[in-house]
Chains A and B, each alone.
Chain A
């Protein structure tokens, strides 16, 4: 819990509410703003973009984060999990964090680019894709580079470099005048004097607290000190593929989500160079059929659950979005487990790799739970316990283990959230995240006129299922803006049809809001 243990945090911050006079007496540099976004990633960017387009004066908005580019962490995680810039993300064409309206989507923009380059056939293929997806064609997904370039453009348009500043936020407290104070380290060297920022409206979008390091991975690393052979798929692990290309070997892969599919694709690329590569895909249980919801059932193939995005499309704006919003805490958690979970997109090339691998024997599936991982003669032995009634123990030999079971969403893993949870005894929902209202407000932090809103994975279990998608970040921002409009927050104006169209035209022209 670094926020509480680091020596320079003033004792004043041990209380849940602090007075402005006491803050001034600390002698720490103190600034005031009206809107403050903490996180500095795509969630913060989306909220700030909404604020400015709704009329807020940019000088009244500050964003604090680690990296100047809002997509920096997202891009790093993509690269590590084998989605380089030229590859496609798993995101809808209309999930446009650079454009609050969702139109034109990335497919239309790519078509426009194709037409300019004279690539008529490709443009026609994209048109077919977005018209028929996901039934008659594979869903369109944008290239990572396209999204990042669009975010760069929007960042320039709204003046993000003037809004963003480097900072590591260490604690947040309510002030005695109905606002919030944020204490942050303005440089990477934590020993430098922290600064204070007082704000009326605060937005938190901190992303996943950390990578998910399963207990067996932690034990293995603690015992051996080896961080090369047993890796998390979101860590940088290119050495695994380079070594396999040179020497061949067996990879044990865990997880069956989209990252597992990408890792298999990358391994298949290496297999083309070295046919001595083998993939052992470890799954905890077989998956003969997908879950049921009313009259429907999710498709499965080769023990993978298929759906275009991490939740059914209707969760992004159709019936299921309403269902989630109207559901209680228990139902929301149930629906998230049912609709979400580890799923991958149904893509022809991936299916062909799996089919070929199964047929030729270089890709095999095993079921069971890992009991332990041991180093043996330069490689690894994975001891498995059979699933269900099988009481067998199996030893699998592998050269590398890639764990693609995901990221860790637990708020306690983030020191700032842990501190907030403890200080304000914030209630959590059944997905173990901090409770938010349908406006994405953390009601437990309400302070007079002051409000705290949230976005991203820390709102899982709330009113919207795919919160950690681009569309989810936009939805959360839009909901919080609706709340700010109701409150009469300074500068925020309703975006009715006329103002919305005018603002959109400014977006098209690349002119600041």
Chain B
């Protein structure tokens, strides 16, 4: 699938809203805290809409205007770094008079974050690389757009 901007947004929304939500429920049970993983999922979605604009701009600098799967992986790592950075940006939150990134428990460990984020990212990436084409026949010809 060669993504368009709308396709990136819609596919991100769909995959995080289905597989992402299911997996996050699982991590909620595991961590005995539903608010933090769901808040993180929300941030991935929200910030993702912004990241996608950047990816799309970079994509338009390529003659083939394509986006190899490894670029998705690179993007996923970048997004994780930014999110973890925000979780740990105590100075920023103190300046804003907040205890931390809203909705995220201050005791969240890197291992918990990596396990949750990594699982959601890998599962949604794998779904995007294959099964989505089967579930939605026209999806691959529409740059990832579902409607």
Contacts and interface: CB of A to CB of B under 8 A. Distances in A.
Interface of A: 94, 100-104, 108, 130-136, 290, 293-299, 307-308, 312-314, 316-322, 475, 478, 495, 497, 500-501, 504
B100 interface: no
B96 interface: no
B70 interface: yes
Nearest to A497: B135
A478 B138 contact: yes
Contacts of B140: 94, 102, 317
23 contacts: A101-B133, A101-B134, A101-B137, A102-B140, A103-B134, A104-B130, A132-B69, A134-B64, A134-B68, A296-B63, A296-B65, A299-B63, A314-B2, A317-B142, A318-B3, A318-B4, A319-B143, A320-B65, A321-B143, A322-B143, A478-B141, A495-B137, A497-B136
- Looking at chain B's contact residues, the main secondary structure is loop
B68 A132 contact: yes
A322 B3 CA distance: 11
**Interface-central residue, A290, A308, A317, by most chain B CB under 10 Å:** A317
A131 B2 contact: no
Contacts of A478: 137-138, 141
Contacts of B141: 316-317, 321, 475, 478
Interface residues of B, number: 28
Nearest to B57: A295
B63 A297 contact: yes
Interface of B: 1-4, 60-66, 68-71, 73, 130-131, 133-138, 140-143
B65 A313 contact: yes
A311 to B, nearest CB: 9
B134 A504 contact: yes
Contacts of A298: 63
Given A313-B66, A318-B143, 15 more contacts: A94-B140, A100-B137, A134-B64, A135-B68, A294-B60, A296-B60, A298-B63, A299-B63, A312-B66, A313-B2, A319-B4, A321-B141, A322-B143, A478-B138, A495-B137
Given A294-B60, A501-B135, A312 B143 contact: no
